[in-house]
């Protein structure tokens, strides 16, 4: 452990959080690094830190405190060190294990690659966890926002987010295209146009399985009833489709006692309704139109029915499957309408990286928008909490932005380190402040009779409401 990172001294009145054998040990005065963030990050962080400190003081008197430790990244870092993401910053987030960050700007089309993504990859923070739930009083574009309560588990290290791309017109793109066209697609009618930019979408067994494993373990621990694998596997068969397949493998091989897949539930349910059903009849019920399909397909479905009845009929049959976690899957485009039309059917969504990015902003909109959309990037032994939103640059330094997402990311952090009392205080004071209709511009513009609060004023009212 260093005494300074980026030349900034480590607080001397705190201790680092430790991690051993899968368990964190949290001292009463942990040193927690923070990255302020670009754009609106500055206003948001200032407000959030005041709320965090007030909640900890109120919850624990002086017995506990957070020793915040600033580490540099983004524009502030570049100004001071000429480095966008200094090695010391990554070291500090690794050494102190649990940290929180504001949003960092990523230019579109060129310039630096995402620092946010770089940090996730460098620290192998493979789960991006984004809970989406309704706080009463929040304005929403849907009739029953309270019906949505999902936790998104987004794979956080691969997919198109891996950043393996070649710009159109470069020798690298030309080499890549000619290799694919001349070697990989030789003899087929498929060709990449020579004036293309190209990107690579790696989806691995390792990345997919560990993410789905974490999502199911979370559902088990939290008593959530469904885990939905979200993918575009009908089109991208060997990446998104494979993610789905590997997800089901994790469920049925590693969590067999505790899970039932949707198809298994149909098979067992059919049999319960009609115990005399043959495997062929059951297959026809779960695959309508099977009689018109190829013979091999029909046989494979009959074999599937027999296998399910034989392997889990005893442990999951006779309605026992209803007590298990249901593992299903939905194609990515369909899940966007499903969470609006049937929000209560979904509880945990396990997604590939890009799909998870899209669905988390869309789901947030349903319960009030990006102003209160928190998140955490979690690895084995490391966690970096951050909001779902970006730097919202047009509001920078105007003291108007909603600090709610970073404040709720702090709630996730406090829950993560076991400081539940502080977490609940913050959550309930936020809810109370919103119910008082004392809200930032994003909520005020959608509410009747609300007072438009500045970022700093919202934090001050939250503290008063604790
Ligand atoms: N993890 C990270 O650090 C992330 C960084 N980014 C980066 O942020 C930059 C800006 O991205 P952009 O596409 O504009 O997306 P943003 O999420 O920054 O903002 C888009 C819009 O969402 C609303 N919004 C966002 N945050 C808040 C908030 N706290 N309170 C109220 N409303 C909010 C605003 O809507 P309105 O205009 O209607 O008021 C805003 O204009 C990009 O460089 C991007 O790469 C993006 C996402 C994540
Ligand atoms: O890193 C970025 O700039 C954008 C990332 C993003 O949108 C996300 O992770 O949700
Ligand atoms: Mg995003």
Q: Are residues 179 and 72 in the same domain?
A: no
* Total-model pTM: 0.97
393 is in an annotated binding site: yes
At residue 186, the pLDDT reads 96
Q: Please indicate, yes or no, if residue 227 is contained in any of the structural domains.
A: no
Q: Are residues 80 and 182 in the same domain?
A: no
181 is in an annotated binding site: no
CA 162/CA 148 separation, integer angstroms = 30
Task: Tell me which residue of 372, 462, 403 sits closest to 131, measured CA to CA.
Answer: 372
CA 409/CA 35 separation, integer angstroms = 13
Q: Are residues 190 and 75 in the same domain?
A: no
Q: Please indicate, yes or no, if residue 321 is contained in any of the structural domains.
A: no
Indicate the pLDDT class of residue 380, thresholds 50, 70 and 90. Answer: very high
Q: Please indicate, yes or no, if residue 74 is contained in any of the structural domains.
A: yes
Q: Are residues 3 and 95 in the same domain?
A: yes
User: What integer is the mean pLDDT of 359-379?
Assistant: 97
Q: Please indicate, yes or no, if residue 170 is contained in any of the structural domains.
A: yes
User: What integer is the mean pLDDT of 54-69?
Assistant: 98
- Closest C-alpha residue for ligand 1 atom 23: 370
CA 330/CA 42 separation, integer angstroms = 38
Of 183, 199, 215, which one is at a domain's C-terminal end?
199
Share of the chain above pLDDT 90, in %: 98
Whether the predicted pLDDT of 458 surpasses 90: yes
Q: Are residues 377 and 462 in the same domain?
A: yes
395 is in an annotated binding site: yes
Task: Tell me which residue of 253, 275, 277, 270 sits closest to 327, measured CA to CA.
Answer: 253
Q: Are residues 93 and 190 in the same domain?
A: no
Vertex 424 angle, CA 224 and 445, to 5°: 90
Ligand nearest to the CA of 373: 1
pLDDT in tens, 304-335: 999 999 999 999 999 999 999 999 999 999 99
Q: Please indicate, yes or no, if residue 70 is contained in any of the structural domains.
A: yes
User: How many Å is the Cα radius of gyration of the chain?
Assistant: 25
Our answer on whether the CB atom of 117 is closer than 6 Å to any ligand 2 atom is yes
pLDDT in tens, 192-226: 999 999 999 999 999 999 999 999 999 999 999 99
Indicate the pLDDT class of residue 110, thresholds 50, 70 and 90. Answer: confident
Of 180, 199, 218, which one is at a domain's C-terminal end?
199
Our answer on whether the CB atom of 402 is closer than 6 Å to any ligand 1 atom is yes
Q: How many structural domains comprise the chain?
A: 2
pLDDT, averaged across the chain:
97
Q: Please indicate, yes or no, if residue 271 is contained in any of the structural domains.
A: no
Q: Please indicate, yes or no, if residue 98 is contained in any of the structural domains.
A: yes
pLDDT in tens, 389-401: 999 999 999 999 9
Residue 131 has phi, psi (to 5 degrees) of: -75, 140
User: What integer is the mean pLDDT of 12-33?
Assistant: 97
What's the 10 CA to ligand 3 centre distance in angstroms? Answer: 31
At residue 74, the pLDDT reads 96
At residue 333, the pLDDT reads 98
Q: Are residues 54 and 119 in the same domain?
A: yes
What's the 348 CA to ligand 3 centre distance in angstroms? Answer: 18
Of 154, 177, 199, which one is at a domain's C-terminal end?
199
Q: How far is CA 416 from CA 48, 54, 74, 90, 283, in A?
A: 17, 18, 26, 20, 45
At residue 46, the pLDDT reads 98
Q: Pairing state of beta strands 198-199 and 31-35?
A: unpaired
Q: Determine the length of the chain.
A: 466
pLDDT in tens, 232-244: 999 999 999 999 9
* CATH number of the domain where residue 414 is located: 3.40.718.10
- Closest C-alpha residue for ligand 1 atom 27: 371
ipTM: 0.98
> In this structure, how many other beta carbons lie within 10 angstroms of the beta carbon of residue 275?
8
Q: Are residues 389 and 465 in the same domain?
A: yes
What element of type H or E holds 251? none
Residues annotated as catalytic are 161, 232, 333, 357
Q: Please indicate, yes or no, if residue 356 is contained in any of the structural domains.
A: no
Host domain of residue 193: 165-199
Our answer on whether the CB atom of 116 is closer than 6 Å to any ligand 2 atom is yes
Q: Are residues 13 and 98 in the same domain?
A: yes
């Amino acid at each position: 452990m260093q005494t300074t990172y980026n030349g900034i001294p480590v607080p001397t009145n705190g201790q680092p959080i430790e991690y051993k054998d899968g368990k964190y040990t949290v001292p009463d005065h942990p040193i927690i690094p923070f990255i302020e963030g670009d754009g609106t990050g500055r206003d948001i962080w200032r407000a959030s830190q005041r709320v965090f400190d007030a909640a900890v003081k109120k919850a624990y008197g002086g017995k506990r405190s957070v020793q915040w430790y600033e580490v540099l990244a983004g524009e502030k870092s570049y100004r001071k060190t000429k480095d966008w993401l200094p090695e010391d910053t990554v070291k500090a987030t690794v050494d102190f294990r649990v940290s929180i960050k504001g949003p960092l700007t990523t230019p579109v089309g060129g310039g630096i690659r995402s620092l946010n993504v770089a940090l996730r990859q460098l620290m192998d923070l493979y789960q991006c966890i984004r809970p989406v739930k309704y706080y009463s009083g929040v304005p929403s574009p849907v009739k029953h926002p309270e019906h949505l309560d999902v936790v998104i588990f987004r794979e956080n290290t691969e997919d198109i987010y891996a950043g393996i791309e070649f710009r159109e017109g470069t020798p690298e793109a030309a080499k890549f295209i000619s290799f694919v066209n001349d070697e990989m697609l030789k003899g087929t009618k498929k060709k990449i146009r020579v004036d293309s930019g190209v990107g690579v979408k790696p989806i691995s067994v390792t990345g997919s399985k560990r993410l789905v494993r974490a999502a199911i373990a979370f559902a088990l621990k939290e008593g959530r009833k469904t885990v939905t694998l979200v993918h575009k596997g009908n089109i991208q068969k060997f990446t998104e489709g494979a993610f789905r397949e590997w997800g089901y493998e994790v469920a049925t091989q590693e969590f067999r006692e505790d899970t039932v897949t949707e198809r298994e539930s149909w098979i067992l349910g059919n049999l319960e309704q009609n115990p005399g059903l043959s495997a062929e009849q059951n297959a026809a019920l779960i695959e309508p139109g099977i009689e018109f399909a190829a013979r091999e397909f029909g046989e494979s479905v009959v074999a599937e029915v027999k296998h399910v009845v034989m392997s889990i009929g005893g442990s999951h049959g006779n309605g026992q499957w209803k007590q298990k976690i249901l593992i299903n899957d939905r194609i990515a485009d369909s899940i966007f309408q499903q969470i609006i039309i049937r929000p209560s059917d979904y509880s945990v969504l396990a997604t590939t990286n890009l799909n998870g990015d899209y669905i988390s902003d869309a789901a947030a909109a349903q319960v009030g928008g990006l102003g209160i959309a928190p998140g955490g990037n979690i690895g084995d032994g490391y966690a970096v909490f951050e909001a779902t939103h970006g730097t919202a640059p047009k509001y920078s330094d105007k003291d108007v932005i909603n600090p709610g997402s970073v404040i709720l990311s702090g709630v996730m952090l406090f829950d993560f380190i076991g400081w539940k009392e502080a977490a609940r205080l913050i959550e309930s004071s936020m809810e109370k402040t919103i119910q008082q209709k004392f809200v930032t511009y994003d909520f005020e513009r959608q509410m009747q009779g609300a007072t438009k609060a500045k970022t700093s004023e919202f934090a001050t009212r939250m503290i008063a409401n604790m």
